[in-house]
Structure 1
Amino acid sequence: MQVTETLNEGLKRGYTITVTAAELEAKVQEKLVEAQPEIEMKGFRKGKVPMAILRKQFGPRLLGDAMQDAIDGAMKGHFDATGDRPALQPEVKMQGGDEWAEGRDVVVEMTYDCLPPIPELDATKITLERLIVKADDASVEEALKNLAATAQSFDDRKKGAKAKDGDQITIDFKGSVDGDYFEGGTAEDYPLVLGSNSFIPGFEAQLVGAKVGDELKVDVTFPAEYGAAHLAGKAAVFECTVKAVKEPKAAELDDELAKKYGAKDLAGLKGQIAERLGVEYQGASKAIMKRALLDQLDGLVKFDLPAALVEAEANQIAHQLWHEENPDVQGHNHDAVEPTDEHKSLAERRVRLGLLLAEIGRKAEITVTDAEMTQAVLNAARQYPGQERQFFEFVQKNPQMQQQLRAPLFEDKVVDHIVAQATVTEKEVNKDDLQKAIDALDEI
């Protein structure tokens, strides 16, 4: 077996791997000898099938296995010897392709971009600012009032009163398109909060001013991107009967409200809210400091980037942003999306930071524990109520999904590792300043 270098430019590498016909024959013979004792065939005792018959029966398949084993072994030996780490899966092509015939040498061309050497980072040169926000009484009271608003009830308005925006009305309705009632367009005793925007645009506004006993027709047009294709963009008429009109009544800020949310009393609920706000502020502050750290790292460390990795990342960014701008297009049935210079610049930043953080984590022997992965899966499973078990099974069988969950955990642990060595000062600010800093992250 021979490995010959054909390309060495920057991070690009190319090699030919030659496996001789004699080496392949030896591997096939080895596999036949290994399998012979367990093979049973009609007319022969177990383990006594002649080698010539075994070769005729199993030779072609074993030749393919031997070829793959030889190439895999050569590639592993090459990477062990050179220390190269490919940025992406190496591209491997066999010379001759379909023209190759048994008895010939196998020559394989292997090309890849190798990961670059990454300079050491002196984290002590990094200076960061941690924003500190305390959950003051005003913030707790505001959050408490918002909580009470979500726990509001509705009381009947006086007889003959007209419905106002924010009221809850109870209606029967039947919807039709072109005079035909459609499936899913009928309901009885349906509670609808006017102004909640939970119905088709324009529907709720036409019910403001209605009274109990009113029968009216509501004219609307389904949005062009409506989920049901047969209704999308169609004009519809809903025949509505108003059966109740109720005004909102905010929950009282008392111990009873607190008990609904698992607290012993109102003071206990305020304590819970203060604690939750503290966690939210801390998370926001950490996100701001992380962005500042990544910005510094992007300027502190420079090295060559694997072109294939940057290209793949730029294509992914361009594709993702295109779908965000065209949410009505599902799947990948659309024209190719060409990355712009802006996409490529962002891809270079992401690849540079990704490689740097990965290298720092590798040298620091940072890993994601099984317990941390389990918690990450639990958190993700909460997005699929009633299907948690199916989600767990999906993750167990899907290495790509496991990596998607593991990657942010690993990155955060590496960031914490760097921050622990950096110079960090604290600055106390109010929540409005914190919000401005968070908003600024989205503008970058």
Structure 2
Amino acid sequence: MQVKETLNEGLKRGYTINITAAELDVKVDEKLKEAQSEVEMKGFRKGKVPMALLKKQFGPKVLGEAMQEAVDGAMNDHFESTGDRPAMQPDVKMTNDDWKEGDDVEVEMSYEKLPAIPDVDLSKISLEKMVVKADEASIDEALASLAETAQDFKARKKGSKAKDGDQIVLDFVGKVDGEAFEGGAAEDYPLVLGSNSFIPGFEEQLVGVKAEEEKDVTVNFPDEYQAEHLAGKEAVFSCTIKEVKEPVAAEINDEMAKKFGAEDLAALKVQIGERLEAEYVGASRAVMKRGLLDALDGLVDFDLPPSLLDAEAGQIAHQLWHEDNPEVEGHDHPEIETTDEHKKLAARRVRLGLLLAELGQKAEVEVTDAEMTQAIMNQARQYPGQERQFFEFVQQNQQMQQQMRAPIFEDKVVDYVFEQATVAEKEVSKDDLQKAVEALEEE
């Protein structure tokens, strides 16, 4: 077997691999001998089929397998001896298209290798960690927001018309073709207008009603309505309005706290303080991570594989185009050209991605099975009722697993670098932290 270099420009490499017919013949014989003991053929006992007959019967199939194994083995030996790591899947193809049994096999292999990553003294990196404490004002503000979500309703003054968002208490009886139907009647039913809890068109017709008013509401059940005997039918609901109530924020007290699972108001305040500080820590980490990436980007410079740059720039351009054209959901659109700005951003991402991967490898950072399982479960919650199917899909999809593993790995490497760097804490206001987060989003 001969391997000859044909290209060596920057990170681009090219080689020809020549595998002789004699080498292939040896591999075919080895594979047939391995299988001989298990082969059964009419007229011969198991394991006693002559090699010449085996070669005639199975030789062509085994030859193809031997060729593939020989090429794969040559590639593996090459990467092991050179230390090259291909940036993307190598391009491999046979050059002797007129090949026939008994000929040598000639293969061309080309790839872009990953660059050598320079060492970085992480202890020389200085970072600032913004620290925000949850003060009483912030806790009170969060309490007020909770009170809004836990709103109560109080009666409007007599004669007031119901508005969208109001709650009306009503009796109603629904009829189709003049006949009342099962489940179409209720008494003292509390309905929030605009909640869309009734079939389309029902709540809109009750905007403007007053207490003690009677009103007929005519609606059509959807064609796909779950009760087949009502699907697509017109129905008339005779409604008697008993009360019209306006929404008011819940009173901030122990009773409200219990609605949110706390023992009392004091306990709820403690929970809110802990939640706010957890949010502040997350936001602060995002700001510090950007500072770290900026610092790393300024510390290293090395050649980047053009194929990775082109792929990343194309992905960035595609993502930004869809953000600017949200009405286009699919990919049936004109070809999107990459700009110098896309390429500049791609270069930063690829450079930092390779650097973090190298740092993680040297630090032996790994994503555990438990961490992957937790990540899959978190994402599966976005598909209520289909969690199991999503979990199984990810387990069977290596590409999906890699997409989910990559950000976990990156965050663990970033945490590792934080530990090596010099980090100074600085107590700031939540407004200062908010401005820093907004600055990240603008970049």
Q: d(CA) in 1 for partners of 2:76 and 2:414?
A: 32
- Give 1:346 deviation, angstroms: 0.9
Distance 1:383 1:161, change over 3 A: same
What is the root-mean-square deviation of aligned Cα atoms in Å?
3.2
- TM-superposition CA deviations, 1:5-55 (whole Å, max 9, x none): 000011010111111111111111111111111112233321222333322
Q: Is the Cα contact below 8 Å between 1:37 and 1:47 reproduced in 2?
A: yes
Deviates more, 1:31-40 or 1:332-341: 332-341
Specify the alignment match of 2:94 in structure 1.
Answer: 94
Specify the alignment match of 1:85 in structure 2.
Answer: 85
Q: Is the Cα contact below 8 Å between 1:129 and 1:424 reproduced in 2?
A: yes
- TM-superposition CA deviations, 1:379-423 (whole Å, max 9, x none): 222222332222221221111222122211211121122222222
- Give 1:258 deviation, angstroms: 2.0
Q: d(CA) in 2 for partners of 1:96 and 1:77?
A: 22
Q: How does 1:379-390 map to 2 (within 5 A)?
A: 379-390=378-389
Specify the alignment match of 1:42 in structure 2.
Answer: 42
Q: d(CA) in 2 for partners of 1:388 and 1:326?
A: 31
Report the residue type matching 1:37 in the other structure. Answer: S
SS in 2 for 1:407: helix
Larger Rg: 2
Deviates more, 1:300-309 or 1:375-384: 375-384
Q: Is the Cα contact below 8 Å between 2:205 and 2:217 reproduced in 1?
A: no
TM-score, normalised by the number of residues in structure 1: 0.84
- Give 1:144 deviation, angstroms: 1.4
Specify the alignment match of 1:118 in structure 2.
Answer: 117
Distance 1:77 1:145, change over 3 A: same
Report the residue type matching 2:123 in the other structure. Answer: T
- TM-superposition CA deviations, 1:115-140 (whole Å, max 9, x none): 11111112222221111111111111
- TM-superposition CA deviations, 1:290-343 (whole Å, max 9, x none): 011111111111111011111111111112222222333333333322211111
Q: d(CA) in 2 for partners of 1:327 and 1:170?
A: 41
- Percent of aligned positions with the same letter in both sequences? 68
Q: d(CA) in 1 for partners of 2:197 and 2:330?
A: 27
Distance 1:53 1:217, change over 3 A: same
Specify the alignment match of 1:262 in structure 2.
Answer: 261
Q: d(CA) in 1 for partners of 2:157 and 2:238?
A: 18
Report the residue type matching 1:367 in the other structure. Answer: E
TM-score, normalised by the number of residues in structure 2: 0.84
Count of matched residue pairs: 413
Deviates more, 1:163-172 or 1:122-131: 163-172
User: Tell me, which stretches of 5 or more residues in structure 2 are unaligned?
Assistant: 175-185, 220-234
Report the residue type matching 2:85 in the other structure. Answer: R
Q: Is the Cα contact below 8 Å between 2:165 and 2:192 reproduced in 1?
A: no
Report the residue type matching 1:264 in the other structure. Answer: E
Report the residue type matching 2:316 in the other structure. Answer: I
Distance 1:243 1:17, change over 3 A: farther
Q: d(CA) in 1 for partners of 2:128 and 2:193?
A: 45
Q: Is the Cα contact below 8 Å between 1:396 and 1:402 reproduced in 2?
A: yes
Deviates more, 1:272-281 or 1:414-423: 414-423
Specify the alignment match of 1:71 in structure 2.
Answer: 71
Q: d(CA) in 1 for partners of 2:3 and 2:169?
A: 78
Distance 1:95 1:426, change over 3 A: same
Q: Is the Cα contact below 8 Å between 1:152 and 1:249 reproduced in 2?
A: yes
Report the residue type matching 1:62 in the other structure. Answer: V
SS in 1 for 2:47: coil
Distance 1:134 1:207, change over 3 A: farther
- Give 1:80 deviation, angstroms: 0.4
SS in 2 for 1:110: strand
SS in 1 for 2:423: strand
Distance 1:393 1:24, change over 3 A: same
Q: Quick check: 1:353 aligned with 2:337?
A: no
SS in 2 for 1:298: helix
Report the residue type matching 1:163 in the other structure. Answer: A
SS in 2 for 1:38: coil
Q: d(CA) in 1 for partners of 2:193 and 2:21?
A: 79
Q: d(CA) in 2 for partners of 1:198 and 1:334?
A: 38
Deviates more, 1:38-47 or 1:278-287: 38-47
Distance 1:43 1:168, change over 3 A: farther
